[in-house]
Structure 1
Amino acid sequence: DDEQWDVFIFNKVSKCVEYEIECLRIAEKCLAFVNFFTSGEKKDIVSFLAGGQKISVRKSTLMVQNEPSLTKRFGESVRIQQNNDSGTFVVDYPPHLFGKAINAFRLNVMMKTSEALNPALFLDPHELKHFKKIMLFISGDETKKPFALNTVAAFSSSIISIEQGDQLFDWLGTKREVLLLYRASRDGWDAKSFHTLCDGHGATLTIIKSAEGYIFGGYLGASFTSNKKDIFTNDAFLFTLYNHAGLPPTKMELNNPRCKAAYGNPKYCPVLGTGDILVASNANDNTQSYTNFGNSYKCPPGITYQSSGQTFLTGSKYYQASEIEVFMVV
């Protein structure tokens, strides 16, 4: 009816407005970010020459973690040994990537006093491995994961860890920006709330956490719907990050291009594949949700259809959820 249509349009417009506000917030933070680091005493400045481009940063910024390796490289108690007569460190890295790495350290400084920009906003997927190498060079410690690669912040997720966020971004490839559309504990566990907030938004990533703490979900390159029709797209996969069977994080593709990637049923929350992963309405209060791998999506190595394909994720075919999150992926 007209009232339902008005509510639907209002929700769509609200999401668009929220997205535009977020873009403006990011632009404002970028300006503040630049202004924050444009001054400093000469003795507190370290300069690098990357690809002929000079990049300067405060020593205190590079030492924000107070790591011994950073103190040795940049601390005032140790004389800095520049690599050439101009007083700069010459580094063999692309200047735009090296600049992003320096910005990641700057972000960590800002996080101590105000809401920081997300470090993942500075990363391009094909540059990620090179970026990590640069971060390790700057920190001087190849045994630790660079603090700046905190992709869990990009997800605004209450489910996944930093490492799990990195894994999801690796699987997503060039699709690097995510926006939280739905969190069951916040927005409601019923199917109507799910479809109201998630339908029609294009590509999405669904993350599910079971009552036992197992984490799994799926990426769908087409919009969720409520029209009781199959959803076909080859741009889809399911995944497990933590499972009962003890398998490592695994990505599972469609069996073949003719398999349906999902199903739009208004009585359920996400239905991925042909019931490969189904989340029931009010999944936190019942065990009607289930997994049945092998219908549309491939089973992981060592897992068989209609046997362990039903139980490897949570230990049984049916499960209770403790959280569901859905992100729009662009």
Structure 2
Amino acid sequence: MASDSDFDEVSTRIRETQDLLTSVSERVRAERDQLERDFPKLHKFEGKPIKLDIGGFIFKTSLETLRKDTDSMLASMFSGRFDMKEQEDGSYFIDRDPTHFRFILNFLRTGKVIVPHDTIAREELLLEAEFYNIKPIIDKLNEPTDSQSAIQAMGSEFSSSTLMKTEDKRVLLSWLSGKMNWRLIYKASRDGFRAANFHRCCDNKGETISVIHTTGGYLFGGYTDVPWTSASGVYKQSSQSFLFAFRSSSLGNTAVKATIVNSDHAVIHNSSYCCIFGRGYNINIHDSSNTNSISSSNWSNGEYYSYPPGVTSNKYWLVGQENFQTQDIEVFGH
């Protein structure tokens, strides 16, 4: 025979079940009411391509594509829960850089994560993926890559440089196609600014990178695969040499590369000078360059090394004038 306590327990469980059913019923009713309210907003997206204005560039896609990643901001925007305002041309404006949006859109279309190899582009895309909350792209970009490992290794190898910033090293690595194992073989403020000091440290050391810092604050240099020698005014041929600037008179802090145009006159070897690039003395570092203003840069109408992007005819674009004085020089050998 059941006791009073048994009846009390059954009654309690019945009330708990009723409360649960009431709660579920209210939640279902609320969701139904929300769907009814959202349906007019949802309906306006149906049956036509969605036109997105991303920072002034138009992209067209389907509603299905935009909702593909249910956790993304785009799926939320076009869920029908928000009163999205169309522009006059029927597009929906999002104030973001459009450069890498195609990676976002192509992932939503195909489900495949494809990202750029360039390290700067990867960082920019990561910012966009985080903004749109596209987790698969975020996860892919946060995976360690060979290029990222190379950058970390290069940062360690170039730690002895007091002239280059981390970004300078990263850009230089990309221009060198990830070639590693560079070592500081000459630093003018340590080894001396005389041409004899340069050649004592740098001659016959294989390919080199020369980085020059002027008293005006400009930072630039050159790469050559031709080992330096103490010859007397001899032109050396190279199809691989290039010049670069991290900070220049015309382009400020924009990093630029100037490729070889006339391979027969890539560099000049002269024991009375330090490094000379180009027949027209695109870069010419003179003996005792820290105590005089004889060192020079003249682009000679781009006959020997190309004008970099953003410069078309200013032959003194590098330091703003033909002659300059150096503050320090670093040479890395390989």
TM-score (norm 1): 0.54
- TM-superposed deviation, 1:302: 4.6
1:277 paired residue number: 283
Rounded to whole Å, the distance in 2 between the matches of 1:187 and 1:210 is 17
State, as a whole percentage, how many aligned pairs show the same letter. 31
Partner of 1:269, secondary structure, is coil
Q: Of 208, 220, 244, which aligns to 1:204?
A: 208
* Residues 251 and 321 of structure 1, relative CA distance in 2, 3 Å threshold: same
Q: Of 235, 244, 248, which aligns to 2:240?
A: 235
* Residues 204 and 231 of structure 1, relative CA distance in 2, 3 Å threshold: same
Q: What code does the residue aligned with 1:215 have? A: L
Alignment of 1:167-178 (within 5 A): 167-178=171-182
Tell whether 2:308 aligns with 1:300.
yes
Alignment of 1:1-330 (within 5 A): 137=142, 149=152, 151-155=154-158, 156-228=160-232, 229-246=234-251, 248-257=254-263, 259-274=264-279, 275-293=281-299, 294-304=302-312, 308-310=314-316, 312-329=317-334
Higher-Rg structure is 2
Partner of 1:264, secondary structure, is strand
1:101 paired residue number: none
Rounded to whole Å, the distance in 2 between the matches of 1:316 and 1:127 is 34
* Residues 129 and 283 of structure 1, relative CA distance in 2, 3 Å threshold: closer
- TM-superposed deviation, 1:301: 3.4
Deviation per CA, 1:235-275: give whole Å up to 9, x if none.
11000111111252111111143x31101111111011111
Structure 2 unaligned regions, length at least 5: 1-116, 124-137
- TM-superposed deviation, 1:319: 0.6
Give the paired residue count.
194
- TM-superposed deviation, 1:149: 3.3
2:87 paired residue number: none
Rounded to whole Å, the distance in 2 between the matches of 1:285 and 1:175 is 34
* Residues 198 and 303 of structure 1, relative CA distance in 2, 3 Å threshold: same
- TM-superposed deviation, 1:150: 7.1
Partner of 2:179, secondary structure, is coil
- 8 Å contact kept, 2:262–2:303: no
* Residues 309 and 289 of structure 1, relative CA distance in 2, 3 Å threshold: same
